[in-house]
Structure 1
Amino acid sequence: MTQNVPLRVQATDKALDLIKTLQDENGDILFHQSGGCCDGSSPMCYGVRDYMIGDDDVKLGHVGGAPFYMSPSQFEYWRHTALTLDVVPGRGGMFSLENGREVRFHIRSRIFSDDEVKALEEAEAA
């Protein structure tokens, strides 16, 4: 099995700083990236007690100690994409914990290389 399995999700320093602030204020948090009507590049951040993860939601990993989930349909679309959680100026989603701070979480993405896809497939098959 390939030892260098790429991360499906990671975070910039700005995002890690905001995550830490939100954890200090709210306790344990999580992220959920859904498709549909909302801005697909803006994941929602919730307190873990405030959002029920679906049985089929896909856990991509952790950022700053917070789990990051995606709906199954969105994962099928983005399965070959590396995500980076960042912070940009703007307003967070109505129920997202960063709302009201004049910044919002934002996803940047890139397509995995062929070698990265192979490493992920090997890791998932193990």
Structure 2
Amino acid sequence: MDAPNRALVTEDAAELLRTLQQRHGTLMFHQSGGCCDGSSPMCYPDGDFIVGDRDVLLAVLDVGDGVPVWISGPQFDTWKHTQLVIDVVPGRGGGFSLESPEGKRFLSRGRAFTDDENVALDAAPPVTGAAYERGERPAANGTHVVADAVDACAIPQR
């Protein structure tokens, strides 16, 4: 079994990313650790958020020229068994995130990896910030774009 993608993006979120790329150029995400803006995927112009040596690259989303999705090393240790699905919903984005003025906000959803997926992921360690600086990149594994969040992870019904 090939290792699954550690991060995906819904088509609605990918469309917003394309709009933001036209305005701001190359983008990146950093999964917030829960301070002022909660635990949200924060979208920045690429390079505006300094990636640390221990940060982990979950994926480079195949949207436009590619959108790296980073998470801190300690937070990754907690979330490593979870596939991150970046979605978009109505509302105000985080104060520092580029979608804030759009009347929408990026939202992280998650799906627990299966036992078999975790075994495959253990054989394909993630790329850290230090390794990325040395030129390492995650293996390409199909598209990262899913039509809807429910295609990647079940959304609880009211």
1:122 aligns with 2:123: yes
- Compute the displacement of 1:49 (Å): 3.3
Could you tell me whether the CA contact under 8 Å between 1:34 and 1:74 is conserved in 2? no
| Pairing 1:95–2:96 present | yes
State which drifts further: 28-37 or 9-18: 28-37
Amino acid aligned to 1:35: G
The AA in structure 2 aligned to 1:117 is N
Tell me what 1:56 maps to. 54
Q: Residue by residue, what CA displacement relative to the aligned partner does 1:26-73 show, whole Å, maximum 9, x if unpaired? A: 001100013132311x11000013221111111001122100000111
TM-score for the superposition, normalised by structure 1 = 0.91
Task: Write the distance in 2 (CA, Å) between the matches of 1:36 and 1:101.
Answer: 22
Taking the aligned partners of 1:124 and 1:44, their CA distance within structure 2 comes to 24
- 2:4 and 2:91 map into 1 onto residues whose CA distance is 30
Equivalent in the alignment of 1:39: 38
Percent identical: 48
Structure 2 residues not aligned, in runs of 5+: 127-158
| Aligned CA-pair RMSD | 1.3
Name stretches of at least 5 consecutive residues in structure 1 with no aligned partner.
Answer: none
Residues 76, 119 of structure 1: CA spacing in aligned structure 2 closer, same or farther, 3 A cutoff?
Answer: same
What is the distance in 1 between the residues matched to 2:24 and 2:89?
21
Query: In the comparison of the two structures, how many residue pairs are matched?
Result: 122
Q: Deviations over 1:5-46 (max 9, x none)?
A: 100001000011011111111001100013132311x11000
Give the letter for the 1:104 counterpart: R
Distance 1:49 1:83 in 2: 21
Q: Which runs of 4+ in 1 moved over 6 A?
A: none
